[in-house]
């Protein structure tokens, strides 16, 4: 059910031809004057069109600093690569949210140690309990909690699952 056939290696995602076409169309629509590249402002508009949010200054600076210095902006190839990566991250977050929601049976927004153990018994029944306890402790640390605090983890992600090759 949740076991990755490839172990803990990250999966790659490829856009469908229609999605790829849409990205090219957005690039062309945002490429004012058909310059062959997107300026910083063009890029921001493209992100709004594709992802529904305006990128922060930090995100725009990061993208524009990665642009080939011999050009004045983001080429179509660079744009497509960035969009593909953003889409992968978006899908990864959605998978994690989906897994968490499946394990949060009481809709509390967090998992207790017992919830965590039950979840791991479902997806990895042969995993030693000590490993499960370590993953739970590590997830608390990732959430900014003290590993020794007695309460539930505010683990809104289950990165620990991927550590052991368990993926949706």
Same domain, 76 and 115: no
Cα 46 to its chain centre, rounded Å, is: 20
Q: How many CB atoms lie within 10 A of CB 159?
A: 13
Instruction: Kindly report the pTM of this predicted structure.
Output: 0.60
**CATH code at 50?**
1.10.238.10
Is 130 part of any domain?
yes
Cβ atoms of 89 and 96 within 8 Å: the answer is no
Cα 90 to its chain centre, rounded Å, is: 5
Same domain, 45 and 74: yes
Q: One digit per residue, pLDDT tens: the chain, 168 residues?
A: 333 333 444 456 677 889 999 999 999 999 988 999 999 999 999 999 999 999 999 999 999 988 877 778 999 999 999 999 888 888 888 887 887 788 887 887 777 888 888 888 888 888 888 888 888 777 765 555 555 555 555 444 444 444 444 443
Same domain, 62 and 22: yes
Same domain, 27 and 84: yes
Q: Which residue range is the domain that position 50 belongs to?
A: 17-92
Same domain, 42 and 81: yes
Cβ atoms of 28 and 20 within 8 Å: the answer is no
Same domain, 119 and 155: yes
Same domain, 115 and 141: yes
CA of 70: how far to CAs of 24, 25, 37, 75, in Å? Answer: 22, 24, 12, 11
Same domain, 108 and 150: yes
């Amino acid at each position: 059910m949740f076991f990755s056939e490839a172990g803990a290696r990250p999966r790659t995602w490829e856009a469908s031809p229609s999605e790829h076409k849409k990205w090219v169309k957005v690039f062309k629509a945002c490429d004012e004057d058909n310059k062959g590249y997107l300026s910083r402002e063009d890029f921001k508009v493209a992100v709004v069109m594709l992802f529904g949010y305006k990128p922060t200054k930090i995100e725009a600076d990061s993208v524009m600093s990665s642009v080939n210095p011999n050009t004045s902006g983001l080429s179509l190839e660079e744009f497509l690569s960035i969009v593909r990566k953003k889409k992968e991250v978006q899908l990864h977050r959605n998978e994690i949210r989906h897994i968490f929601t499946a394990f949060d049976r009481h809709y509390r927004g967090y998992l207790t140690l017992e919830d965590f153990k039950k979840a791991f018994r479902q997806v990895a029944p042969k995993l030693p309990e000590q490993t499960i306890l370590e993953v739970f402790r590590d997830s608390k640390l990732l959430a900014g909690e003290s590993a020794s605090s007695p309460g539930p983890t505010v683990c809104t992600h289950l990165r620990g699952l991927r550590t052991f090759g368990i993926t949706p």
